[in-house]
Chains A and B, each alone.
Chain A
Amino acid sequence: QVQLVQSGPEVKKPGASVKVSCKASGYLFTDKFIHWVRQAPGQGLEWMGWVNPHTGDTEYSQRFQGRVTMTRDTSVSTAYMELSRLGSDDTALYHCATQSWWCFDHWGQGSLVTVSS
């Protein structure tokens, strides 16, 4: 079965960067786009962007353009999301998810990123 296992919690200072990983299993890694969706504490879901594991192509939400980088390493079936210039409003649970048609069919457990001085 499809599984997405994400890296553990991170605590970062304002202005720093964070890199979250998402290891996929149970399917051919290059077959499905991987998206990143974040959820601030007690809030809703916000789409950040996607990476095509086959080509490395990406698309980012304009809200994060210039601050986010999504990459992948096909040798270890892992996608990465790096967010720079962190502020307190970046404190959130960051999920990876696979795309099926025009929605997200499998989700990682989430990686908590806390930004605090």
Chain B
Amino acid sequence: EIVLTQSPGTLSLSPGERATLSCRASQSVDSRYLAWYQQKPGQAPRLLISGTSSRSTGVPDRFSGSGSGTDFTLTISRLEPEDFAVYYCQQYGSSPPYTFGQGTKLEIK
């Protein structure tokens, strides 16, 4: 099983600042198979980025993804108030084929 470890667990920043969220895999992940989701309280997760760096329709360009192998990053260039949420990375691999990180909570400082 590929384990995804996200850091930090909680990130406290102010609107306008840059956020850098990390997702580290226990084994190498094909970059086609790494995605990021945003979840706000009381809502379902929303797909932000697939294939490491491809933004979903409607996702602002302040969100960007990068990485390869075992280290992946979600960057929010300039935080807006609506960006404060929990973020999950997810990979497709083998047994089980789909796993998620434990999440990073991005909170207002």
Contact = CB atoms under 8 A, between A and B. Distances in A.
A107 B90 CA distance: 15
A37 B97 CA distance: 13
A26 B95 CA distance: 32
Interface in B32-76: 32-33, 35, 37, 44-47, 50-51, 56
B44 A95 contact: yes
B90 A44 contact: no
B99 to A, nearest CB: 7
Nearest to B45: A107
Interface in A69-117: 95, 97, 100-105, 107-110
How extensive is the interface on chain B, given as a class? 20 to 34
A31 interface: no
A63 B95 CA distance: 10
A35 B32 CA distance: 19
Contacts, number: 57
A62 interface: yes
A57 interface: no
B2 to A, nearest CB: 12
A28 interface: no
Interface in B74-109: 88, 90, 92, 95-103
Nearest to A106: B47
Given A102-B92, A103-B50, A46 B35 contact: no
Given A102-B33, A102-B35, A103-B90, A45 B95 contact: no
Nearest to A60: B96
Nearest to B4: A44
A44 B103 contact: yes
Interface of B: 32-33, 35, 37, 44-47, 50-51, 56, 88, 90, 92, 95-103
11 contacts: A44-B103, A45-B45, A100-B47, A100-B50, A102-B50, A102-B92, A103-B50, A104-B90, A105-B56, A107-B44, A107-B45
